Every structure is written in structure tokens, then in C-alpha cells.
């Protein structure tokens, strides 16, 4: 037998076969990485929607309790919480024992803010009742919240407009 036939019987790979295999694996891996990043981004945005929904519902419940006279407010106030911390507990004016009304267990942090050194309350922008919708500004109360995250969502809408 010749030397080439002995090589084929050993069952090894040629250097070209190895290079082609490595190239194919790297192409498949480079296609999978962006898809994985998209899945992570989609999950964060889903969590952001849920947190915004919960916080806005808590603000609305606070306003409802204020309108019902269960939360004390001064004349001329809107009835919305003065700060986000008010959603954690307010004295029920109609309860003879002075029970506390709780609208949130804790202030959630913006899931798109990765800096854990920043307190949860500082990851949100505040819009007062007197503020224009197009130009949200903080004021004497908290009518709405929005994420203080730069950039746009997968849907193309800037996070500040969510």
C-alpha cells in the first residue's frame, strides 16, 4: 500500500476539515449571540412594563383613597402622593385605630438601571399633575412615573415615553 492509503485508514481529520468545522461553529455562535441579547432585552422591557403598570396602579389607588377622604390632604392639593415614598404607607383617616394604607410593599427599581448603588427612587422620573404630558416635570405631587433610562425600546419608542 502507498503512504496515502495508510493515512486514510487511521481515521484522522485533515487540517482543512478542522478549519472548516471551526469556521462553521464560529459563524453559528456569532448568529446566536445577538439573538440571546435580544431575548435578555425583551425580558427587561417586559419587566419594565409590569413595574410601570404596578406603580401607576398604586398612584391611582392612592388618589382614589384620597378622594374618598381616607388620606388627609390640604385644600388645593391634587390628592396624588407628594412623593413616591407615600405609596409605601399612609394613615387611614377613616379607621378609628389609625391603620396604615399600603399601596406598594417596596419601591421597585427601574429594571433597565444596572447601577445598584443608585436608590430605587432615583431610577424614576416624576411627573406632577400640573406638568404637561409632552414635557414631564416634577412638582408638588407624583401624578406619573417614567424610566430615567436613555435609549429606545425594541419597539422604537424612547423609554422616557413609556
In a domain, 6, yes or no: no
In a domain, 75, yes or no: yes
In a domain, 7, yes or no: no
In a domain, 4, yes or no: no
pLDDT tens for each residue of 37-95? 888 899 999 999 999 999 999 999 999 999 999 999 999 899 999 999 999 999 999 99
Per the structure, how many domains does the chain have? 1
Q: What is the pLDDT of residue 31?
A: 72
pLDDT confidence of 139, banded at 50, 70, 90?
very high
In a domain, 84, yes or no: yes
Q: What is the pLDDT of residue 143?
A: 96
In a domain, 3, yes or no: no
pTM above 0.95?
Answer: no
Long-range own/partner contacts, residues 123-129 (CB < 8 A, 24 or more apart): 123/147, 123/148, 124/55, 124/84, 124/148, 125/160, 126/84, 128/80, 129/78, 129/80
**Could you tell me the residue range of the domain that residue 140 belongs to?**
14-161
In a domain, 18, yes or no: yes
Give the Cα-Cα-Cα angle 84, 77, 63 (nearest 5 degrees).
55
Percent of the residues in the chain that have a pLDDT greater than 70, as a whole number: 93
User: Rounded mean pLDDT of 134-158?
Assistant: 92
pLDDT confidence of 148, banded at 50, 70, 90?
very high
pLDDT averaged over the chain?
89
Amino acid at each position: 500500500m502507498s503512504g496515502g492509503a495508510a493515512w486514510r485508514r487511521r481515521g484522522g481529520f485533515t487540517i482543512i476539515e478542522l478549519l472548516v468545522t471551526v469556521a462553521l461553529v464560529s459563524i453559528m455562535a456569532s448568529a446566536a449571540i445577538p439573538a440571546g441579547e435580544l431575548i435578555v432585552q425583551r425580558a427587561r422591557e417586559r419587566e419594565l412594563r409590569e413595574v410601570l403598570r404596578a406603580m401607576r396602579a398604586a398612584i391611582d389607588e392612592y388618589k382614589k383613597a384620597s378622594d374618598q377622604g381616607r388620606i388627609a390632604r390640604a385644600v388645593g392639593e391634587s390628592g396624588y402622593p407628594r412623593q413616591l415614598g407615600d405609596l409605601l404607607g399612609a394613615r387611614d383617616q377613616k379607621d378609628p385605630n389609625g391603620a396604615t394604607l399600603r399601596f406598594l410593599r417596596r419601591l421597585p427599581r427601574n429594571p433597565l438601571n444596572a447601577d445598584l448603588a443608585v436608590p430605587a427612587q432615583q431610577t424614576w422620573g416624576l411627573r406632577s399633575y400640573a406638568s404637561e404630558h409632552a414635557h414631564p416635570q416634577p412638582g408638588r405631587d407624583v401624578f406619573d412615573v417614567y424610566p430615567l433610562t436613555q435609549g429606545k425600546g425594541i419597539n422604537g419608542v424612547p423609554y422616557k415615553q413609556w
